[in-house]
Chains A and B, each alone.
Chain A
């Protein structure tokens, strides 16, 4: 069992090293090495999944990596259970499909090899994160994932926007990572271990006070919020769309951003002990879902729409985890990984074909790109949660969970978000594929097979994963198996109605362009402006940075220049000046030296006689 885990982890690392050191000359060979490696990982994770299915429960392999005298050991190991096996399967399969897709999308890119090397590095880090059996190991891979994300967002680093976006992603997630690190340190200082299973046992035994648990849980949630782009640390994800689209599909839709969800799920024993922390998670998740969904309504860039949609869906997952819907939240992670990767890849296909991100410059593409259009439609339906796609099952599971938890405000907001989701997806679909042709002299064409085959595979998952709902519920649960509430048809019917009405509204506005609706548009222009500008969050941060941080920074810089540097330079000046003075003693004249010798002798002489 563990050899499959080791294989899954090491294949991408090997590929990264091989590409970095040996196959730098050849594009084809590099892509081949990388894809072969990720295929190896995929195969071993399938084996692993099969094994875990046959023997559910926790399987742990651990070695002491570093030993410290103060009874704390840093371990390195694998923790295999249904959660990590499923997550591993998601990561490797999406990675594999994205890598295949990238062969077409990135064809002819001058930094093709570098791209594949970093993709392999990312896969390695992500797999390590999933398999880690303790917090410190997870944190190491967590940071490596952040690094690979930085490198891949900045793939076209000669574009200033890409470089800035990469930096922003790195810096913003750092805020959260700091909280995560502090949480780990507090935990290990209090309990003397990093290990998940040991910690679970210890916390069950009541080793920490409830206040301490809440503190640790909230700090850890800060890390999760940074990675999973939860409000108020969500600002990096839309900007991260400056990276290549397959990277957006892989890292910023399916896997890395789900790492925060995965962290919360992994440490659920900790979170579930603190009601305050759970409530914070639920509220922040719900607010993020609502807020990002509303921003997505008014975006023109197809990748930005999808990015805000991702933020919104991640908020859903957090919400589910926060209200105790462990199974539902994690199931939504999986279905979301499939349909959001699919949507990003179709968007990539559109961008590849048309060379623009703006949905208003597309239009009427249904006939030109049938496969892309159909797969986009499937992804959109799944995202909107239409029966019988996978999104329906996972999203309704979350909604039911929220409803039964009794937080009706949260339920109302998440229901509104369902409406938003249906609206912006329909809007994108109608504008891009059904409206009048606007691409002018460009000749859109269907993408090559290497690109559309992954789309088809992903759309099969996006459609079919819902059939696995019951198996999943039986496999992944916290405490006991989730209580089935399918008899309650109220929530699914309401949410479907909301989604349908929203889609109808989008159809009326963007497809039919009814006059009375168009006339209403100016009335809402204020709201639209706010949404277009993403609630001015970036501007608010910029204001904070400019007005507050710069003042502090300038003061610090002044202190640094005049006090710290002054001390350093002053020391240097003092040495130099004293040397300049002392230099004059070295006259080179024998008699001066003789004077010194005799003076010294006399002084010693007098000193000795005085001592006597």
Chain B
């Protein structure tokens, strides 16, 4: 089986990549995808923790189920917003929407 620490380090690496993507991607679909990576990193950690530390309770796996469901809802709403923004601005790059510019 897989070693715990390596798996956790893998999850944190995935998290870091997701953060990097969320901060650098120019268009919003890219940001969404990065956020999905972050979600997956969290899910992976949950599964590893529950498997190796407290396998009897299964709480981690239940959490992952919830996260996946919420992620689905989130991505649906996000894409709907994206469409709405696109209709308004004809553009979906994060830079374009800067009404709050000082």
Residues of A within 8 A of B (CB): 583-591, 594-595, 598
Contact = CB atoms under 8 A, between A and B. Distances in A.
B101 A594 contact: no
Contacts of B1: none
Contacts of A587: 98, 101-102
B102 A585 contact: yes
A594 B22 CA distance: 9
Nearest to B101: A588
Given A586-B100, A594-B23, 10 more contacts: A587-B98, A587-B101, A588-B98, A588-B102, A589-B94, A591-B23, A591-B24, A591-B31, A591-B94, A594-B22
B102 A586 contact: yes
Contacts of A594: 22-23
Interface residues of B, number: 13
Contacts of B53: none
A590 B23 contact: no
6 contacts: A583-B102, A584-B102, A588-B97, A591-B31, A594-B23, A598-B23
B18 to A, nearest CB: 11
A588 B23 contact: no
A497 B53 CA distance: 132
B2 interface: no
Nearest to B96: A589
Nearest to A579: B102
A583 B31 CA distance: 25
B99 interface: yes
A589 B23 contact: no
B6 interface: no
A187 B94 CA distance: 77
Contacts of B19: 598
Given A595-B23, A598-B19, A598-B23, A590 B101 contact: no
A184 B45 CA distance: 85
A595 B31 CA distance: 13
Nearest to A598: B19
A591 B31 CA distance: 9
Contacts of A584: 102
B62 to A, nearest CB: 28
A589 B22 contact: no
Interface string B3-25: 00000000000000001001110
Q: Which 5 A-B pairs have the closest CB atoms?
A: A586-B102, A588-B101, A588-B98, A588-B100, A583-B102
Nearest to B99: A588
A590 B98 CA distance: 8
Contacts of B95: 589, 591
A591 B22 CA distance: 8
Interface in B59-99: 94-95, 97-99
B30 to A, nearest CB: 11
A609 to B, nearest CB: 16
Nearest to B28: A590
Nearest to B98: A588
Contacts of B22: 591, 594
Interface in B17-50: 19, 22-24, 31
Nearest to B31: A591
B31 to A, nearest CB: 8
A253 B100 CA distance: 74
Contacts of B97: 588-590
A396 to B, nearest CB: 88
Given A594-B22, A594-B23, A598-B19, A589 B98 contact: yes
B66 to A, nearest CB: 24
A586 B100 CA distance: 7
Contacts of A595: 23
| Most chain B CB atoms below 10 A, which of A583, A587, A589 | A589
B42 to A, nearest CB: 16
Contacts of B101: 586-589
Contacts of A591: 22-24, 31, 94-95
| Most chain A CB atoms below 10 A, which of B19, B99, B102 | B102
Contacts of B100: 586, 588
B60 to A, nearest CB: 24
| Most chain B CB atoms below 10 A, which of A586, A590, A594 | A590
Contacts of A585: 102
A590 B85 CA distance: 14
A532 B87 CA distance: 93
A591 B94 CA distance: 7
Nearest to B19: A598
A583 B98 CA distance: 13
B64 to A, nearest CB: 24
A556 to B, nearest CB: 41
B8 to A, nearest CB: 18
Nearest to A595: B23
B102 A590 contact: no
| Most chain A CB atoms below 10 A, which of B24, B97, B100 | B100
B84 to A, nearest CB: 16
B19 to A, nearest CB: 6
A587 B96 CA distance: 11
A374 B98 CA distance: 94
Contacts of B99: 588
A267 to B, nearest CB: 67
B36 to A, nearest CB: 16
